[in-house]
């Protein structure tokens, strides 16, 4: 009995660690990116669409991750029609950035 309870606790903590570690790209997108890029990545008056965007379709995850991490503002801006730039996501971990970029690639291919 004691052994059974113990293995139950171990199994539960392993399962918990698993979910805590897997970065959820969709949840990160919703929390940190959708206010500017739109809930489904359709774009807003503030930022370009991700759906159908060739940059996301054609660039590697690393290339896109670099823009997310370092931002793209001032003279480096590609879309002059938007007043603001892409803010650098300095507090995001590399794993979270990779997860959200993976999700954005999915959104881009929807259109
Ligand atoms: C405050 C508004 C804002 C937020 C929040 C924001 N972005 Fe952006 N993003 C922009 C703007 C504006 C641009 C266009 C920059 C330019 O002119 O090159 C952009 C551009 C980009 C680009 C380059 C797109 C292209 O076509 O070249 C990527 C990649 C990107 N954003 C990813 C993200 C991710 C991932 C998040 C969430 C972690 C995010 N953005 C959150 C405003 C935002």
Torsion, Cα of 39, 40, 46, 51 (10° steps): 170
pLDDT of residue 55: 98
| Residue that the structure tokens 């379709």 belong to | 57
User: In this structure, which residue's CA is closest to atom 21 in ligand 1?
Assistant: 86
pLDDT tens, per residue, the chain with 111 residues: 666 665 655 555 545 544 555 689 999 999 999 999 999 999 999 999 999 999 999 999 999 999 999 999 999 999 999 999 999 999 999 999 999 999 999 999 987
Ligand 1 site residues, Cβ closer than 6 angstroms: 32-33, 35-37, 46-48, 53, 55, 64, 67-68, 72, 77-79, 82, 84-87, 89, 100, 104
Radius of gyration (C-alpha) of the chain in whole angstroms:
18
What is the model's pLDDT at position 110? 87
């Amino acid at each position: 009995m004691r052994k059974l309870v113990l293995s139950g606790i171990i199994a539960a903590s392993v399962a918990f660690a698993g979910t805590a570690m897997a970065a959820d790209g969709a949840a990160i997108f919703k929390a940190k990116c959708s206010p500017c890029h739109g809930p489904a990545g359709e774009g807003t008056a503030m930022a370009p669409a991700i759906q159908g965007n060739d940059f996301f379709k054609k660039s590697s995850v690393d290339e896109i991750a670099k823009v997310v991490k370092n931002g793209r503002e001032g003279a480096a801006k590609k879309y002059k029609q938007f007043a603001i730039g892409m803010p650098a996501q300095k507090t995001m971990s590399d794993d979270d950035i990779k997860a959200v970029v993976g999700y954005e690639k999915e959104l881009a291919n929807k259109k």
